[in-house]
């Protein structure tokens, strides 16, 4: 920031908070389109490059919302989510989320959101999670049984597909009272298309084409909508007959607007099933390719479980398992960024951000900020050993968001992740089948474009 660009008081000439720096030339920005094309080519990589070249509060010339400020500084994230949260609304980027999520838990601003959160909160309390333990235990046991078959054949299988099957079963029971994996690939495909469409709705070429053109992309979006609408309609019928899941029953009995049932159920499907599956996929990928971490997990599960399947009562004793999950969430946060917009001028990490500015809180960038994480691209569960990281800002790690809008499913997701990771390492040793690193895809979630194929070997034959 040059002296000439620094705001100064017109009376005293004292320097005020400077504007955010930003990429003003190649390789991080181009004429006219700014950073848009380079960002779209590889969003996570661009986030890190922008951070390391221009700092933790960066002004990006991005279409259609120019400028957009990228934030990776922990003190700025804390101010946005907690210290000055009333100054940050959902904003322009969230308009795209309404394409599938309507007016629900993710898209509403705080005043309206509170009523929705209050209605569904009872389904996510510790007691409610414990009451569904039998569903989780059975789902994890079935996964282990299927993987025993994979181990017998020695054939590679896709971690992401298997993880989706588990997540759709467990979270489906909580939401609508049944196993959503029974919908088959149609359900998984609908979630993937919805998350892609929300991301592309912000500024893709598809939006510029006449709405009557039946492009392949639009046909995929329409199929995804029909799939989700069918699931929601059945959930409504089941809830009216007293046979639905806890979340569906709570929404059906509430005094929320009529469209809240659909909006909140679809939101929780998109924000819960896919993200949990991705977190499990990335965790098992990292432990499979790091022998030191794998050995520690095997030792811990042998010692704590002594040959029996893990349950909720074992989770507190599975310390290294929790550390490995937390580290995988650091490197691969499923929801890797989320938008806000300033209502009034604010100062973030010493940089002035004008009213009306879209802000992207980059979870991915915060988790790889070298000011907070030594050797940030390395997988090292020891970062999360109890008592470690005392000098690290707590807001440098936000895989579930923070403040009052922290993810409602955090407890459900972490419990399922830890129990499944323990069950897998107690029984199997995984090997990544492809030596090439997976290609990152980044829409609303961070996913492996081609899946991740592994082989499983029984540890105790």
Q: How many CB atoms lie within 10 A of CB 449?
A: 9
- Report d(CA 82, CA 61) in Å as an integer: 27
- Band (pLDDT 50/70/90 cuts) for residue 13 is very low
Longest dimension (CA), the chain: 81
User: Residue 8 has what DSSP assignment?
Assistant: B
| Helices marked H in 121-259 | 126-131, 133-153, 159-176, 185-201, 216-240, 246-253
Average pLDDT over residues 68-77: 96
- Report d(CA 244, CA 267) in Å as an integer: 17
User: Residue 206 has what DSSP assignment?
Assistant: G
Report the CATH number that the domain containing residue 82 is assigned in CATH: 1.10.630.10
Strands 337-342 and 157-158: unpaired
Could you read off the pLDDT of 83-137 as tens digits, one per residue? 999 999 999 888 888 889 999 999 999 999 999 999 999 999 999 999 999 999 9
Average pLDDT over residues 10-23: 59
- Band (pLDDT 50/70/90 cuts) for residue 26 is very low
On the question of pLDDT at 363 being above 50, the answer is yes
CA-closest candidate to residue 335, choices 259, 250, 278, 412: 278
- Report d(CA 403, CA 317) in Å as an integer: 28
Query: What's the distance, Cα to Cα, between the start and end of the chain in Å?
Result: 64
Run of H or E residues at 429 = strand 428-432
> Domain residues for 275?
3-458
Least confident of 209-213, 222-226, 273-277, 357-361: 209-213
Q: How many domains does the chain have?
A: 1
- Band (pLDDT 50/70/90 cuts) for residue 15 is very low
Annotate 26-83 with DSSP letters as a single string.
TTT-BTTTBTHHHHHH-HHHHHHHHHHHH-SEEEE--SSSSSEEEE--HHHHHIIIII
Phi, psi of 320 (to 5 degrees): -70, -30
On the question of pLDDT at 197 being above 90, the answer is no
Least confident of 14-18, 291-295, 349-353: 14-18
On the question of pLDDT at 385 being above 90, the answer is yes
Run of H or E residues at 448 = strand 446-448
């Amino acid at each position: 920031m040059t002296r000439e660009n620094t705001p100064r008081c017109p009376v005293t000439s004292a320097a005020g908070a400077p504007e955010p720096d930003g990429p003003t030339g190649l390789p991080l920005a181009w004429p006219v389109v700014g950073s848009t094309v380079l960002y779209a080519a590889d969003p996570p990589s661009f986030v890190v490059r922008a951070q390391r070249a221009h700092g933790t509060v960066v002004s990006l010339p991005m279409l259609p919302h120019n400028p957009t400020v990228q934030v990776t500084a922990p003190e700025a994230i804390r101010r946005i989510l907690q210290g000055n949260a009333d100054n940050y609304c959902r904003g322009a980027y969230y308009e795209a989320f309404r394409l599938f999520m309507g007016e629900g838990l993710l898209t509403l601003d705080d005043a309206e959101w509170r009523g929705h959160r209050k209605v569904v909160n009872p389904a996510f309390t510790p007691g409610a999670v414990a009451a569904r333990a039998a569903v989780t235990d059975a789902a994890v046991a079935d996964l282990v049984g299927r993987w025993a078959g994979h181990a017998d054949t020695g054939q590679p299988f896709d971690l992401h597909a298997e993880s989706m099957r588990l997540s759709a079963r467990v979270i489906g029971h909580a939401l609508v009272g049944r196993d959503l994996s029974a919908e088959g690939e149609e359900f998984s495909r609908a979630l993937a298309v919805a998350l892609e469409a929300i991301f592309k709705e912000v500024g893709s070429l598809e939006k510029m084409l006449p709405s009557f053109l039946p492009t392949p992309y639009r046909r995929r979006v329409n199929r995804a909508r029909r799939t989700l609408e069918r699931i929601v309609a059945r959930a409504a019928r089941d809830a009216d007959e007293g046979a639905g899941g806890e979340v569906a029953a709570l929404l059906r009995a509430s005094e929320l607007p009529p469209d809240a049932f659909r909006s909140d159920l679809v939101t929780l499907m998109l924000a819960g099933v896919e993200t949990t599956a991705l977190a499990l996929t990335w965790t098992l990928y990292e432990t499979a390719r790091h022998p030191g971490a794998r050995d520690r997990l095997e030792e811990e599960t042998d010692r704590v479980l002594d040959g029996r399947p893990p349950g909720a009562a074992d989770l507190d004793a599975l310390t290294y398992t929790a550390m490995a999950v937390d580290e995988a969430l650091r490197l691969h946060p499923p929801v890797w960024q989320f938008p806000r917009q300033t209502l009034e001028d604010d100062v973030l990490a010493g940089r002035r951000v004008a009213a009306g500015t879209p802000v992207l809180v980059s979870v991915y960038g915060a988790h790889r900020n070298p000011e907070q994480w030594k050797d940030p691209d390395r997988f090292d569960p020891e970062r999360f050993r109890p008592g470690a990281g005392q000098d690290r800002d707590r807001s440098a790690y936000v895989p579930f968001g923070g403040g009052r809008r922290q993810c409602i499913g955090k407890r459900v997701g972490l419990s399922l992740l830890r129990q499944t990771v323990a069950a897998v390492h107690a029984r199997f040793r995984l090997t990544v089948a492809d030596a090439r690193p997976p290609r990152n895809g980044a829409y609303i979630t961070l996913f492996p474009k081609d899946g991740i194929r592994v082989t499983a070997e029984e540890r105790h034959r």
